[in-house]
Structure 1
């Protein structure tokens, strides 16, 4: 079994520097961090704290998600846990409940267990108050990379919003309403709306004002009566599938049928949407593979000194029966 002295020798540094890098307990330059981690990986060295974990426990990573009840995040979390199980790591979970103010406290709680690294889905990565220098290796999941968090696994939500809007425009819809969770709680929803907005403008149409509702709450009680009166939409895009289900319920309470009276589409591609009658039109996101990819990237960064990367995963447009062609009407 390789020793710490062998790692230090291969990396060309002192024993103390190698120890600080591998135990993350002191200032070291980024270049030296990469050299020491690469040497440790090449030699197969793992510090006792990594093998057994603090107090004899196995090592862990921390994961922050907005809500564990959302199938999107539970799917990603399941694949993260499976990948980490193979690597011998446990997974600690924290939730922000779509509240940016709670993110710092949630991450601080995760850091109490000295995780190998973090996988974070933030409300808005560009506005986050988290400071990367104080964090272990960190990968964003679903957020675009920033200067503070350059490692990320994403889909192109802007392009997805544009594609879904273009589908509806091609079917003859011109008054398309965007219903979303609050943009401050999800930069993903904001990017999807921006894609919608630009698609409308390219068709020389005025985008309708978005209807924003809280992510945390009862979608089953969604009331769209005021928006329907104000905008008279022929189609509604919801910023996620769960909200799309709420939109369909709200339309039915108004005596309207989908898609006969109003077409509805969403984002995420969760399984229950395929079981609906008719099936939901949606942008399918590869949540499980994204979680596994984020886990692999984090391990590569933390244990092999791999460079940070932004990995983009493809989405797929799934047309179901909740939208209809009105070009002939």
Structure 2
């Protein structure tokens, strides 16, 4: 079995540098750390986890809370990419991940109880009902916490720039000549709030007023919910010419309803989504949407959480905003062009 000295010789660095890389110290470059960890794995070197935990007073295990009301769960493309990227980044820094559960064997427990049982070093809240008392208990605990899709003052949050994303999407739809724009937004959260504020601001900047019935609350990433809501919108006496869904899965539900009603997209009704999942770009017409960088969200969440675990006094509890990209697709009709 390879030793730390063997790794240092292969990498051309000191034994202490190898030790720092394997134990998560920050005073070496990320490139050097990754090179050392890669070499260690290739050489078959793995430090004894129990000895390492005792020495460093850490378990090198991160708890991941993924609780969703939708049936897609981990098969949801958006979250699957985020979690895969998070796991990959954490592994490069020497950390394992374990999903946080309510039940361990026959024993029922809270999320916080599970974290204490497993002695996690930190917690990544990837998907949850953020107002649940158990989730709030976890966020307000002593555990280092990073969240996505919701911002807490007590935790680091990694979010796409939802204000800018909704601004780009709404302005593009308006530039295509639409004035009757409906919005099926998600449930109450900081993400929903920021998108709604941005949507209203862009309408106001363009001198557009839409009726209250054009704003309906749906369920994030639920095609079934948006199908029912789209039916309600399309049956209004003065229906919208474009419907923005809360996300791409919800947009697929809107498109399903439109087609069942005999409507063509985008000739009869325009549809837009949010997230940029690949399946929405494989359909005809391709969906107009905002693409979130899911790989970056996952890797940045892992980076920030591990920095908070290893250097709590020099890591700020900030909200980090990542850039988004408008994907124009073909699901929004240009009303400015003459038929």
Judge same fold: TM > 0.5, yes or no: yes
Q: Partner residue of 2:241?
A: 234
Which residue of 187, 192, 196 corresponds with 1:189? 192
Shift of 1:60: 1.1
Specify whether residues 220 and 193 from structure 1 end up closer, same or farther in structure 2 by C-alpha distance, changes over 3 A only: closer
CA contact (8 A) 2:308 2:315 kept: yes
Equivalent residue number for residue 24 of structure 1: none
| Distance in 2 of aligned mates of 1:105 and 1:326 | 53
Q: Is the aligned partner of 1:179 residue 2:184?
A: yes
Q: Quick check: 123-132 or 195-204, which moved more?
A: 123-132
Gapped regions of structure 1 (runs ≥ 5): 1-38, 97-103
Distance 2:175 2:124 in 1: 38
Equivalent residue for 2:95, pick from 85, 89, 92: 89
Aligned residues: 277
Deviation readout 1:81-133 (Å, 9 max, x if unpaired): 1112222221122489xxxxxxx944543443111111124544799633645
Report which stretch shifted further, 254-263 or 304-313.
304-313
1:205 to 193, 204, 208: 208
In structure 1, the partner of 2:175 is 170
Alpha-carbon distance in 2 for matches of 1:139, 1:255: 45
1:307 aligns with 2:315: yes
The alignment partner of 1:321 has SS state of coil
Q: Does 1:72 align with 2:78?
A: yes
| CA 217–199 in structure 1, closer or farther in 2 if over 3 Å, else same | closer
Structure 2 unaligned segments of length 5 or more: list them.
Answer: 1-23, 29-46, 103-108
Residues of 2 paired with 1:171 and 1:40: CA distance? 52
Report the Cα distance in structure 2 between the residues aligned to 1:126 and 1:208, rounded to whole angstroms.
Answer: 32
Native 8 Å contact 2:227 2:253 kept in 1: yes
The 5 Å alignment of 1:1-329 reads 51-52=52-53, 59-65=60-66, 66=68, 67-94=73-100, 105-121=110-126, 122-124=128-130, 129-130=136-137, 132-144=139-151, 146-149=152-155, 151-181=156-186, 183-184=187-188, 186-209=189-212, 210-215=215-220, 219=224, 222-223=227-228, 224-230=230-236, 231-305=238-312, 306-308=314-316, 309-329=318-338
Contact 1:153–1:290 (CA<8 Å) still a contact in 2?
A: yes
User: CA distance change for structure 1 residues 270 and 216 in 2, over 3 Å: closer, same or farther?
Assistant: closer
Pairwise CA distance, 1:310: 3.1
TM-score between both structures, scaled by the size of structure 2: 0.72
Aligned partner of 1:8 in structure 2 is: none
Judge conservation of contact 2:220–2:247 (CA < 8 Å) in 1: no
The normalised TM-score by structure 1 is: 0.74
Supply the RMSD in Å over aligned alpha carbons. Answer: 3.3
Question: Is contact 1:131–1:148 with CA below 8 Å preserved after alignment?
Answer: no
